[in-house]
Amino acid sequence: MDLCFLNINITSYVADPLSHEFMRKALLMSSLVAAVCGFLSSYLTLKGWALMGDAVSHSVMPGVVVAYALGLPFSLGAFIFGVGSVALIGFVKQKSRVKEDTVIGLVFTGFFALGIVLVSKIKSNIDLHSILFGSPLGISLSDVKQTVFISLLVVILLSVFRKDLILYCFDPRHAKTVGINVLFLHYLLLTCLSLAAVVGLQSVGIVLVVAMLITPGATAYLLTDKFDNMTIISVISAIISSVFGIYLSFWFDLETGGSIVLVQTFMFLFAFLFAPRYGIFKLKKFFSKY
């Protein structure tokens, strides 16, 4: 009797949210965004671009605001400011004696502050809260179109140049030696990073988008020694986190972006503790004893 009650309850827990149009859309779009960010994150974690990801994702803020104000696609503004911030970081680093991590921190907080000031000054219907913390439950139709377009673009670019990008992350000197255009690959990865940051911020917001770009890759890195598997695990863990995070936020009335990232963090923690080869408890050894 009790069991039967529980059974009905669980089904309704899973199915009820799906009866809402906004929930279906949020689940679909967030899964797409998570898949794209997860795909990219295996490159970023191996390249060691976590801090760069943080910088770019914060720096796109003024671009998003200006684009909204001018009625342009927000991805265009974000892209210009994302790549611009990296160019500026490179320039300041080269022309001054300040260390690189200081320059990165300095440039992206500057851009971020500019974005916040612009939001308060430009009278428009931009909701600061939804940019900072994401609003997967309130994605508009035009946003959906842009997100799908950008996601496809990033996936196609990463797939076509997949082997070159792996080589670029692994051994750029060899790439250069055999006549591969390393500078192009550098900016290609940077472009994908900016674009992924733009779609990711709708889901979890600017503040947390870097987690979408590094955590799935880091989790997958602990679980495999093959790049292909790493990408697959990364994408799957990102999608699961997104879906589960949205459900959690629905059930317990939590901030959606925060709960998505928190699920990702728990997945990393689980891999960190129990990964067969690289976890601290090394489950494989544990099992092989018995």
Partner 1 sequence: MDKHNYKSYRIEAENICVDYHGKVALYDANLRLKAGQICGLVGMNGAGKTTFFNALTGFVNISKGKIRINGESLRIAQKYQAIAYVPQSEGIDSQFPVSVWDVVMMGRYGSMNILRSPRESDIQAVKDAIDRVDLMELSSTPIGNLSGGQRKRTFLARAIAQRASILLLDEPFAGVDIRTEKLISELFIQFKNEGKTILLSTHDMIHVREFCDLVLLINKTVVAYGETSEVFTPENITSTFGGMSPDVLLGPES
Q: Which residues bind partner 1 (CB under 8 A)?
A: 46, 94, 160, 163-164, 166-167, 169-180, 221, 224-227, 229-230
Could you tell me which of 200, 199, 110, 95 has the C-alpha nearest to residue 146? 199
Contact assessment for residue 198 and residue 38, using Cβ atoms and an 8 Å cutoff: no
CB of 197 to partner 1, least distance (A): 24
CB of 173 to partner 1, least distance (A): 5
CB of 5 to partner 1, least distance (A): 47
Residue closer to partner 1 by CB (options 39, 133) is: 39
- Gap between the Cα atoms of 229 and 97, Å rounded: 41
CB of 102 to partner 1, least distance (A): 16
Residue closer to partner 1 by CB (options 176, 285) is: 176
Contact assessment for residue 198 and residue 150, using Cβ atoms and an 8 Å cutoff: yes
- Gap between the Cα atoms of 62 and 64, Å rounded: 5
Could you tell me which of 53, 30, 8, 1 has the C-alpha nearest to residue 217? 53
Residue closer to partner 1 by CB (options 175, 275) is: 175
Residue closer to partner 1 by CB (options 10, 160) is: 160
Eight-state DSSP code of residue 281? S
